[in-house]
Amino acid sequence: MSGRPRGALLTVEGVEGAGKTTQAARLVEALRSSGREAVLTREPGGTELGRDIRRMLLALDGEAPAPEAELLLYLADRAQHVRRLVGPAIERGAIVVADRFSDSTIAYQAHGRGLPLDAVRAIDDFARGGIAPFLTFVLDLEPEAGLVRARATGPADRLESEEIAFHRRVREGFRAIAAASPGRVVVLDASRPVDDLAREIAATALDRLEHA
Q: How near is the Cβ of 106 to ligand Z5A at its closest, in Å?
A: 8
Site for ligand Z5A in 159-178 (CB under 6 A): 159-160
Q: CA 153 to CA 85: how far, in whole Å? A: 28
Residue among 37 and 200 whose Cβ is closer to ligand Z5A? 200
For residue 34, state whether it binds ligand Z5A (rule: CB under 6 A): no
Pairwise CA distance, residues 95 & 209, whole Å:
9
Q: Which of 24, 66, 68 is nearest to 201 (CA)?
A: 24
The yes or no reply on residue 133 touching ligand Z5A (CB under 6 A) is no
> Is there a contact between 24 and 18 (Cβ–Cβ < 8 Å)?
no
Cβ proximity to ligand Z5A: between 36 and 167 the closer is 167
Q: Applying CB under 6 A, which of residues 93, 157, 184, 204 lies at the interface with ligand Z5A?
A: 157
Nearest residue (beta carbon) to ligand Z5A: 19
Contacting residue, 30, 79, 150, 188, with ligand Z5A by CB under 6 A:
150
Cβ distance to ligand Z5A smaller for residue 29 or 92: 29
Report how many residues bind ligand Z5A under the rule CB under 6 A.
29
Q: Report d(CA 20, CA 40) in Å as an integer.
A: 12
- DSSP string computed for 21-71: HHHHHHHHHHHHHTT--EEEEESS-SSHHHHHHHHHHH-SSSPPPPHHHHH
Using CB under 6 A as the binding rule, whether residue 22 contacts ligand Z5A is answered as yes
CA distances (Å), 5 to each of 2, 25, 36, 87, 89, in order?
8, 21, 9, 15, 11
Does the protein bind ligand Z5A through residue 17 (CB under 6 A)?
A: yes
Q: Does 153 bind ligand Z5A (CB under 6 A)?
A: yes
Q: How far is the CB of 95 from ligand Z5A (least distance, A)?
A: 19
The residue ranges that bind ligand Z5A (CB under 6 A) are 14, 16-22, 43-44, 74, 99-100, 104-105, 108-109, 149-150, 152-153, 157, 159-160, 190, 192-194, 197
